[in-house]
C-alpha cells in the first residue's frame, strides 16, 4: 500500500490533467486551484484516513466528514475568470467525490 502523502501527490497529478481538460479556456487558474483545493483538505483527510484504517472511524463516518470539507476547497483563481460558477462547483463536487472514493479504495 502506498503511503498517504504519495497517494495525494499521485492524485493531484491525475486531477490536474482533468482540470486542464475541463477548463481548457483557463488551464493555469484551474491547475493552481486544483492543487490548492486538495492541499486545503489534505491534513484532515490524512488524519481521518488513518483513523479509518485503524478501525476507529467507519467508512460512512469518513465519507460524512470528508464530504463536509467540500466547501473548504476554494477555487479563487477560477472565480476571477469568465468561467461559469456552476461549472466550477461541478468540478469541485467531482474532485471531492473522486478523492473520497480513491481513499476508500486504497486505505479502507
Contact 15, 33 (CB under 8 A): no
Give me the number of domains the chain comprises: 1
At 17-63, the pLDDT tens digits run 999 999 999 999 999 999 999 999 999 999 999 999 999 999 999 99
With residue 98 as reference, give the H or E element that holds it: helix 85-107
Rounded Cα–Cα distance for residues 33 and 4 (Å): 21
Nearest to 72 by CA among 53, 52, 99, 54: 99
Reported pTM:
0.87
Other Cβ atoms closer than 10 A to 92: 19
Nearest to 10 by CA among 94, 107, 100, 102: 102
At 52-100, the pLDDT tens digits run 999 999 999 999 999 998 888 999 999 999 999 999 999 999 999 999 9
Q: Which domain holds residue 50?
A: 4-107
Amino acid at each position: 500500500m502506498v503511503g498517504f502523502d504519495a497517494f495525494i501527490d499521485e492524485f493531484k497529478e491525475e486531477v490536474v490533467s482533468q482540470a486542464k481538460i475541463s477548463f481548457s479556456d483557463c488551464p493555469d487558474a484551474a491547475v493552481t486551484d486544483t492543487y490548492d483545493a486538495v492541499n486545503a483538505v489534505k491534513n484532515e483527510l490524512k488524519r481521518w484516513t488513518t483513523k479509518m484504517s485503524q478501525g476507529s472511524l467507519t467508512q460512512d463516518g469518513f465519507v460524512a466528514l470528508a464530504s463536509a470539507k467540500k466547501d473548504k476547497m476554494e477555487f479563487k483563481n477560477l472565480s476571477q475568470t469568465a468561467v461559469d460558477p456552476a461549472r466550477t462547483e461541478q468540478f469541485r463536487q467531482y474532485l471531492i467525490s473522486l478523492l473520497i472514493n480513491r481513499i476508500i479504495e486504497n486505505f479502507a
